[in-house]
Chains A and B, each alone.
Chain A
Amino acid sequence: MNVIDTRAIAPHAPGPARWAAASAPPVGGGFHNIGEIVIVLLVVGGLYLAVTRGRRGRRGAPHDDTWVPREPPPAPPPAPLAPRRPRAAVSFDSQADGWAVETHGLTKRFGPNVAVDGVELRIPRGRAFGYIGPNGAGKTTLMRTLLGLTRADAGTVSLLGLPVPAERKRALAGVGAIVDEPRFYPHLTGRDNLRMLAAARGGDAGQRIDSSLERVGLTQRAGDKVAAYSMGMRQRLGVASCLLGDPELLILDEPMNGLDPAGMHEMRTMITSLADEGRTVVLSSHLLGEVERSCDALAIVDRGRIVRQGPIGELIGAVGARSVRVDCADPARAARLIDEAGIASGTSLTDEGLTVTLPAGTSRELVADINRRLAAAGISVYGIQEVRASLEDWFLSVTTRLGEQP
């Protein structure tokens, strides 16, 4: 039997000094005195301290903690978020420097259910882009697939011109994202959470912690544990985590969830300002009004498929005829008059007054003609207001899910 004889490997030495009187033969090898053990323990302790010295600063000044090299030159100044290209007009034509996001035939299945069904998506750079759809339409799954958080069953993805997952690391270096509800270590402060994400991101992300916190208005609460944060503060911390890498592309999944009206306004302003800096912001939401206010272009998804995509103005304008609301003294008589003149596609009387649907392609002169005819007939006109189709109207017209609900 082959066994280890530990004494043969390291024969015994005399014990500690207090045992020196004993007649133990000094046969050498191994540890000779207690000092050697102390040295070993000091080395272990040193390693421990080295690891725990992961951050600079005093316990009493947690707000001053930032990453610094161990033997560094003076710490570089905090890296601000770099200004980017000014916001340009939306174009879905071919882009010289590639699309911010481009997918072809992207498909993701969960068993028999197809969450993302052959999605063809192109998001132009430097714009705020909305990705909207009813609950369960596959928005979050698409986000996760784009970011490589889950594997696609078919199709291709490229972020900032780089294929994912082949060049995922390079692509994600320019991407900041929050997917689903922003959750963090509740026992750590907001700043420590960002520190951990900055360490994972590498580069000079650690130097952007302060500027990111300032950008989202969390500087004063950065030293508090996340467990004490409200939902809105967590959302803002999520956005701050996105900004650590000074990203060219931000993917925000339902960032308005849980926010009160003031928080939604702040978030909307932030998204707009990020897009104004030339960053591409992809905003996934089911809050149509927020998307309409924040974004320049959008795609609408239903049952895993892209139903429409393009600039918001073009998409809504393509819904159908324009209409005007006429505020006058005698709406019923005015409606008869307009119908008899045959200058409108139709009229309708509601509690809000008279709505006149104009034929497609009509000019503003038709509105002036209506005003003249009513005045000539002795009907006092108090105002004529154009009624624009809202994103919600358009959304309802192109999706089926909501229409199926009772």
Chain B
Amino acid sequence: MTSPAPAVATPLPRRLAAALPTWPLIATRHLELRKRRGLMIVVGVVTTGPTVLILGLRLAFHLFDPAHYGPAGYPGQFSTAASLQAGLGFIAAVVVGATAGTSDLNDGMFRHLVITGRSRLALYLARIPAGLAILLPAVALAFTMLSLVTSYESEPQPTSVTMNANVSIPPYLDQAQLQTWVGQHPQEAAEAFKPPADVIAPRSATRVGTDYTDYITNEVSEFNPPVNEMAKTGLWVELEVAIGFLVGLGLGSLTGQRAVSGILLLGFELIVTPILAAVPIPYFLDGQRLDFGVAMDQLRPVYLIASSDIGGLGNVVFGGQGTARVPPMPTWAMITVIVAWIVGWSAIGAWRMMTRDA
């Protein structure tokens, strides 16, 4: 009888390479998801359906009765539809993520795949680009339609931001530029940014932020977003969707049950997060900030804020706290929370995949 060959330690670079998914593995994983007809219908309906419906109806109404129905694109329309895309895109992402995380187990293929000798980590990682390749283009398609309609099917844009009904300020100024304008036009600025009646303090540097918020509030309500703001908004929506997918994937891999994972995540996003974002809880603010929804809200682009149904325009707009009423957190904390959700859930899902009995 021969004794088993001694184990030979595999070099680290080879082990790392083995943990990376190959292109065919990603492509077949994508094929597996793409061939799920019901899932694809859900993704299509949820991500692009509302946009097509809203824009289609508005375009049709305006085409046939322009006297009564305005152009399809206008600032509020963009904000509303983009926010809707983010919310519904997150739902689609959770469904796709939970499906990708559980399909091998539920369909009995996990065992077959493990027997091939392929690294379980590679099997897990292959799901990420495969799932994102379905979700991100679908959301991008919807957002592109919205951007095009907003850009090319809207009223001519005003030439200036109107403050207090009679003061015109050039649009698209950032905070520093607005401060410069205020310095150059002190009288108009005093008229444009009248403090509330109960505030008698003289104008100071601390007022600049408030003035800027007022200025942005008016600009957002009057102007379509410029292209770079559209791009930021689109990227934010895609980030929201990507996080939804990764968390769904991780939770699905952890539980092995698609329905449970989906319900848990949607409940968290649709019930828990709005509460945490809207109601500051004494002595628990830092806990509330651990919710990625609150962190993502702080990253929310300005053109998504005006029509929010949570709290209206936040008290700090750019990169500030968005619509949540929880006091904003430092930028590093916001980024840490978002990254932690992505990395943490991915690590949990991968760990479970690697340790699960097949």
B227 to A13, Cβ gap below 8 A?
yes
Interface stretch, picked from A195-203, A277-285, A287-295, is A195-203
Interface residues of B in 207-242 (CB under 8 A from A): 224, 226-232, 234
Q: Is B101 an interface residue (CB 8 A)?
A: no
**Cα distance A16–B7 when bound, in Å?**
64
Q: A12-B174, A18-B152, A241-B112 are in contact. Are A3 and B7 (CB under 8 A)?
A: no
Interface residues of B in 95-115 (CB under 8 A from A): 103, 107-109, 111-115
Residues of B in contact (CB 8 Å), total 83
Q: Is B253 an interface residue (CB 8 A)?
A: no
Q: Is A405 an interface residue (CB 8 A)?
A: no
A257 → chain B closest CB, angstroms:
14
B330 to A1, Cβ gap below 8 A?
yes
A156 to B28, Cβ gap below 8 A?
no
Residues of A within 8 A of B147 (CB): 37
Q: Is B53 an interface residue (CB 8 A)?
A: no
A15 to B107, Cβ gap below 8 A?
no
B137 to A48, Cβ gap below 8 A?
yes
Contact pick for B35, options A12, A188, A200, A245, CB 8 Å: A188
Q: Is A102 an interface residue (CB 8 A)?
A: yes
A187 → chain B closest CB, angstroms:
5
B27 to A54, Cβ gap below 8 A?
yes
A30 to B24, Cβ gap below 8 A?
no
A161 to B2, Cβ gap below 8 A?
yes
A-contact 0/1 string along B301-312, CB 8 Å cutoff: 110000000000
Interface residues of B in 140-182 (CB under 8 A from A): 140, 144, 147, 151-152, 156-160, 170-177
Residues of A within 8 A of B22 (CB): 199, 202
Closest to B129 in A: A51
Residues of B within 8 A of A183 (CB): 107-109
**Cα distance A22–B159 when bound, in Å?**
5
Q: Is B45 an interface residue (CB 8 A)?
A: no
**Cα distance A245–B18 when bound, in Å?**
18
B89 → chain A closest CB, angstroms:
14
B4 to A44, Cβ gap below 8 A?
no
B121 → chain A closest CB, angstroms:
12
Q: Is B34 an interface residue (CB 8 A)?
A: yes
**Cα distance A54–B35 when bound, in Å?**
13
Interface residues of A in 99-123 (CB under 8 A from B): 99, 102, 122
B171 to A22, Cβ gap below 8 A?
yes
B-contact 0/1 string along A74-104, CB 8 Å cutoff: 0000000000000000000011001100100
B25 to A200, Cβ gap below 8 A?
yes
A162 to B26, Cβ gap below 8 A?
no
B334 → chain A closest CB, angstroms:
8
Q: Is B36 an interface residue (CB 8 A)?
A: yes
Could you tell me the dominant secondary structure of chain B's interface residues? helix
Q: Is A45 an interface residue (CB 8 A)?
A: yes
Interface stretch, picked from A169-177, A324-332, A392-400, is A169-177
A163 to B5, Cβ gap below 8 A?
yes
Q: A2-B332, A18-B151, A173-B117 are in contact. Are A7 and B4 (CB under 8 A)?
A: no
Q: Is A5 an interface residue (CB 8 A)?
A: yes
**Cα distance A52–B234 when bound, in Å?**
23
Interface residues of A in 153-208 (CB under 8 A from B): 156-158, 161-163, 166-173, 175-188, 192-193, 195-202, 206
B34 to A186, Cβ gap below 8 A?
no
Residues of A within 8 A of B1 (CB): 94, 99, 102, 122
Closest to A199 in B: B24
A37 to B227, Cβ gap below 8 A?
yes
A2 to B331, Cβ gap below 8 A?
yes
**Cα distance A171–B160 when bound, in Å?**
72
Q: Is B272 an interface residue (CB 8 A)?
A: no
A55 to B117, Cβ gap below 8 A?
no
B228 to A16, Cβ gap below 8 A?
no
B109 → chain A closest CB, angstroms:
6
Interface stretch, picked from B188-196, B263-271, B314-322, is B314-322
B147 → chain A closest CB, angstroms:
7
B46 → chain A closest CB, angstroms:
18
Closest to A19 in B: B157
Closest to B174 in A: A7
A196 to B357, Cβ gap below 8 A?
no
Residues of A within 8 A of B137 (CB): 44-45, 48
Q: Is B136 an interface residue (CB 8 A)?
A: yes
A196 to B32, Cβ gap below 8 A?
yes
Q: A167-B5, A196-B28 are in contact. Are A30 and B157 (CB under 8 A)?
A: no
A103 → chain B closest CB, angstroms:
10
Residues of B within 8 A of A349 (CB): none
B152 → chain A closest CB, angstroms:
7
B319 to A3, Cβ gap below 8 A?
yes
**Cα distance A11–B229 when bound, in Å?**
9
Q: Is A32 an interface residue (CB 8 A)?
A: yes
Residues of A within 8 A of B112 (CB): 178, 184, 197, 241
Q: Is A33 an interface residue (CB 8 A)?
A: yes
B125 → chain A closest CB, angstroms:
13
**Cα distance A7–B215 when bound, in Å?**
14
Q: A3-B331, A173-B117 are in contact. Are A185 and B32 (CB under 8 A)?
A: yes
**Chain B residues proximal to chain A, CB less than 8 Å:** 1-2, 4-8, 18, 22-32, 34-37, 103, 107-109, 111-119, 123, 129-130, 133, 136-137, 140, 144, 147, 151-152, 156-160, 170-177, 224, 226-232, 234, 298-299, 301-302, 316, 318-320, 328, 330-332, 357-358
Q: Can you report 16 A-B residue pairs in the complex whose CB atoms are below 8 A from each other? A: A7-B174, A10-B232, A22-B159, A29-B228, A32-B227, A37-B227, A40-B231, A41-B144, A51-B129, A149-B114, A149-B115, A149-B357, A167-B5, A167-B8, A184-B112, A199-B22
Given contacts A22-B158, A44-B136, list 20 more A-B pairs with CB under 8 A: A2-B332, A5-B319, A15-B227, A18-B151, A37-B227, A47-B133, A52-B27, A52-B133, A102-B2, A122-B1, A147-B115, A163-B6, A167-B5, A176-B115, A178-B112, A184-B109, A192-B32, A199-B28, A200-B25, A202-B24
